[in-house]
Structure 1
Amino acid sequence: MAKQWFAVRTKPKKEIVAKDQLENQGFKVYLPLVNTRITHARKVSWQPRPFFAGYLFVHLSRDEQRWTAIRSTVGVLAPVSFGSFYPPLPDKAIEMLQSSHDEGGYITVGKSNESPFTSGEKVRLQDSSLKGLEGVFIEMRGEDRALVLLDWMQKKMRLETSLDNLSSAS
């Protein structure tokens, strides 16, 4: 019988617990992770985080769809459903996610058409009162704005600026 992918909502920050518990019950589970740069108390580390916070995916055939068992699993809130209909995800969507893993098993988030920089890339401010300062590109904020993390006056400072104000520092 053909298997399909289904999305399952998890309790906040319990994606890995839910994944482990579902796998212990014999379900095939996919939890895409991204290696995230974390700054805490002036220390930088890289930690795995769910690519889709609060969600994971379960691969089921029609006779494996034990929604009550899935719903009552530790760490799970509920399968994504519309009433009594549990919409399957296209296999291509999961295949696309799985094909974008790096050698460490994490989803790589690189440059896109909308973003000229990758997350974590060093950038330099060009046209502002902070001209010449270097920071780390975090993410896009709309079509033409970027969030940058500056290390300025011994403090970490988030700055939202125009893309035109940034250049690569590497």
Structure 2
Amino acid sequence: MTTQDPERALAVPPTAASRPWIVVNTQVQRERLAAEHIGNQGFETYCPLFKRQIRHARRIQEVMRPLFPGYVFVAVDPQRQQWRMLMSTIGVRAVLRDGERPSILDGRFIETLRAREVAGAISRPAEPYQVGEKVRITSGAFDGLVAEIVRLDDVKRLTVMLSLLSSQIRTSLSREAVAPLELR
């Protein structure tokens, strides 16, 4: 029979939100390698990923990519743990610092990212617009006109079709330049 330390028995494991995190800059495309080697040293790491579609040779493939390329988050208590060893870890370029101390990241940021994960990837917020939806243009030369969305792209742009002078005009607009059409 072993005796337990009463303080240890009552201790609640810290959550990511209550622990300090630091940011480690990795070598180019070496986030996974750096995270693995940091993890081997007993630190918890987090490298949020997102799904991205790439096109190659007429094929579309979905791949996982780092949300923050070149960076990995590491849970560390700089007062109690030796964080300087991270700077000589395989795959690591530097630890983001404020002078001689590592820059501390609020754990709530990590918890927010983890809450958005679905099947190991950060999910995008729901798309506010859909192809085929009618919108009102709110700025620029076509301000006030109604258009139909014909294409959405990843860089916050919409391609819309609008009727003007008995012809169909296709144009590209920023998402901020349109508003949902209010039904009256």
User: What SS is found at the alignment partner of 1:52?
Assistant: coil
| Contact 1:4/1:60 (8 A) holds in 2 | yes
**One-letter identity of the residue aligned with 1:35:** K
| Per-residue deviation, 1:90 | 0.8
User: What SS is found at the alignment partner of 1:63?
Assistant: coil
Instruction: Give 1 or 2 for the bigger CA radius of gyration.
Output: 2
| Percent of residue pairs bearing the same amino acid type | 29
TM-score (ref. length: structure 2): 0.64
Instruction: Describe how 1:1-170 pairs up with structure 2 within 5 A.
Output: 3-61=19-77, 62-67=79-84, 69-102=85-118, 104-111=119-126, 116-117=128-129, 123=131, 134-140=150-156, 146=157, 161-163=173-175
**RMSD over equivalenced CA pairs, Å:** 3.1
| Contact 2:25/2:72 (8 A) holds in 1 | yes
**One-letter identity of the residue aligned with 2:40:** N
**Residues 160, 26 of structure 1: CA spacing in aligned structure 2 closer, same or farther, 3 A cutoff?**
farther
**Residues 162, 4 of structure 1: CA spacing in aligned structure 2 closer, same or farther, 3 A cutoff?**
closer
**Residues 165, 42 of structure 1: CA spacing in aligned structure 2 closer, same or farther, 3 A cutoff?**
farther
Q: Structure 2 stretches of 5 or more lacking a match?
A: 1-13, 138-146, 160-170
| Contact 1:125/1:165 (8 A) holds in 2 | no
| Per-residue deviation, 1:132 | 8.3
| Per-residue deviation, 1:25 | 1.5
The C-alpha deviation readout for 1:91-129, integer Å capped at 9, x for no partner, is 111110111111x11111113xxx634xxxx736989xx
Q: In the aligned structure 2, how far is the partner of 1:60 from the partner of 1:162?
A: 41
| Contact 1:125/1:166 (8 A) holds in 2 | no
Which residue of structure 2 lines up, in the alignment, with residue 155 of structure 1?
none
**Residues 165, 36 of structure 1: CA spacing in aligned structure 2 closer, same or farther, 3 A cutoff?**
same
Q: In the aligned structure 2, how far is the partner of 1:166 from the partner of 1:124?
A: 14
**Residues 42, 161 of structure 1: CA spacing in aligned structure 2 closer, same or farther, 3 A cutoff?**
farther
User: What SS is found at the alignment partner of 1:92?
Assistant: helix
**One-letter identity of the residue aligned with 2:128:** P
Which residue of structure 1 lines up, in the alignment, with residue 144 of structure 2?
none
Which residue of structure 1 lines up, in the alignment, with residue 10 of structure 2?
none
**Residues 82, 105 of structure 1: CA spacing in aligned structure 2 closer, same or farther, 3 A cutoff?**
same
| Contact 1:123/1:166 (8 A) holds in 2 | no
User: What SS is found at the alignment partner of 2:61?
Assistant: strand
Q: Which runs of 4+ in 1 moved over 6 A?
A: none
Q: In the aligned structure 1, how far is the partner of 2:152 from the partner of 2:23?
A: 33
